[in-house]
């Protein structure tokens, strides 16, 4: 079965009544955890974006506490898991400010985790890729706002060089 295009889906959703749309959403949420998480964000958390950012940052802090820093291999695996988890949360929101706040929080936590980034090229590259994504998103903003974020990015880069 070939999936319909987004345009075709939108046209058919407009034709459905309220009950049928509700049934389709519940059925969609039943099949995949990602769908359920996205629906949870849309229904409960999208109205309070700062609360969403705070809750995601708290969850991220808890995930960082689970990192086994005795082995760089195990630390790398856990950090990759956190990055995948983070990408999902950013995708749910779709707001640039949220993306920057979450990525910067990740970089700050990784920097302060005690894991030496200079010892693992993979972990260092994960850190750098998050900074690149922040930099790319920051360029979409007004120059005054860009300057605020650039100073924080520069502090993170200096923190890595001094470690």
Per-residue pLDDT tens over the stretch 28-61? 889 989 989 988 998 899 899 999 999 999 999 9
Evaluate whether residue 95 is within a structural domain.
yes
11-to-7, 15, 23, 24 alpha-carbon distances in Å: 6, 7, 17, 15
How many structural domains is the chain composed of? 1
Angle, CA 153 vertex, CA 149 and CA 156 arms, to 5°: 145
Evaluate whether residue 37 is within a structural domain.
no
Evaluate whether residue 33 is within a structural domain.
no
How many residues are listed for the chain in this entry? 163
Evaluate whether residue 69 is within a structural domain.
yes
Per-residue pLDDT tens over the stretch 57-78? 999 999 999 999 889 999 999 9
The CA distance from 126 to 110, in Å, is: 10
CB-based contact 106:83 (threshold 8 Å):
yes
Share of the chain above pLDDT 90, in %: 53
């Amino acid at each position: 079965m070939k999936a319909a295009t987004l345009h075709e889906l939108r046209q058919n959703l407009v034709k459905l009544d309220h009950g049928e749309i509700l049934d389709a959403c519940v059925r969609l949420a039943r099949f995949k955890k990602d769908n359920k998480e996205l629906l949870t964000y849309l229904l409960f958390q999208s109205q309070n974006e700062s609360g969403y950012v705070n809750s995601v940052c708290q969850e991220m802090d808890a995930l960082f506490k689970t990192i086994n820093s005795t082995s760089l291999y195990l630390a790398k695996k856990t950090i990759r898991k956190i990055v995948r988890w983070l990408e999902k949360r950013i995708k749910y929101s779709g707001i640039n400010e949220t993306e920057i706040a979450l990525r910067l929080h990740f970089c700050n936590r990784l920097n302060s985790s005690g894991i030496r980034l200079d010892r693992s090229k993979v972990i260092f590259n994960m850190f750098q890729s998050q900074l690149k994504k922040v930099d790319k998103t920051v360029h979409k903003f007004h120059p005054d706002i860009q300057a605020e974020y650039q100073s924080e990015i520069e502090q993170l880069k200096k923190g890595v060089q001094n470690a």
